[in-house]
Structure 1
């Protein structure tokens, strides 16, 4: 029977976008077809006990591609007869791929990229390490055109030819029209995003808004445009121009029927194209012996 070893630092109870992504994928595998190897985290024993598949926690608070960590990952792959490996985030753990293949005979190794690998791709020393990851894996995944370009350039033409798109999903039952988020915003003191230097690989918040039946305005940078069908479910605009932002907002606010129609189209699009099950099916195909 085919079984996958997931190697990741990003797994609950730690919270974050990648953690949500990896957990959602892990829980969609058949329960006897997946094993998770991850770092230690406060509250992990109670969390892991509720899962129907093995979660092995390393004592380290962060997994790094050291000889010890790689040896343990290989031992786990052999112990559980795993014939495929998925790195929940390609950098840096994907640097273990070549040794894992040699020592375990893994038939398929897939490494998933997010926004932070773009920084690796643009930094000389890290760029060469990303190339090693590309050479040692069967597929490097990407979120959209904005992240694929720099990562493909870094990993080289052969590995770039094996790249595949793999995106997070949206729960259209959790995000639905009519929800009032004021209580949550007040509880956590949320009043808007802070500025940061991280690359916006996708912008899942825009898809969640669309799932809630809202028209969406996104800036034309990073992966945000991938989350909108421009002119159908919302608009892609120059986010640096207050006049443009104001113009589009006024148009939506003064034409409620048109805005409502955009929201309805957005919700239908998310339900059809951005479900978690669809993302899992793509990952399962990448990990299969004959993808």
Structure 2
């Protein structure tokens, strides 16, 4: 099958996927889109939202619809790296046997990732970046596709361990989850307080998803679009020559090269789901907020004057 035909098929399959997810998830269309773009781009996502907004249900539903294995890890202050990676035990024959931890799944929900100490947070780093882990000197590859969706509660900050910038940078998207609208909430209450359980069917296989990930990487892109993305990221760096006044006054650190890579990959996926055969500047702009918001570090002046990341990112367009 040619890549053009494959893109056309992808558009159709993506629409079916959205319909399947909508059986369970009411509204949150933008959030679902961003999670799916992240998966098909081969990235990871950080979901920031207050409790009770169906983050776990959303990820579980997406995993079911994609036909992928799903595991949820509840991060707590006493969680150890071995609790998520797995550990070696002595079996009956007095041989060491590796028992796999919950990290061995296609989709991992790292719930409240900022509740666990840096040592355990770091255990996720290798898995996210290398798609492999090392335990007791042995290297274990993780099954592809591999996607980590971490959640953070923006309200309770007592007793939390904020993710270091190096780890935040590993997440392709930082997605803000808002409350549903009145109409959506009525629909949610209706569907969740009845005895009817929607059945989600698996529409993809793991191999199909990895094939689509490769297809997206093969999508051609014009040099001017790449230059636009790199220029946009360059503008977030306060010491760079292209930074505007807003960035110079309110930003301590800008985004690194990984942001440029993610902008292009996400723009390719965004273009593909719209049936376009090559992304343009509009596709880059469509994904820019979620890719840059966790990569730019505001200074105290921005906090004091109430300047948001969104305002700063908008000024880069």
TM surpasses 0.5: no
Q: Report which structure shows greater RCO (CA 8 Å, sep ≥6).
A: 2
Instruction: With the length of structure 1 as denominator, give the TM-score of the two structures.
Output: 0.29
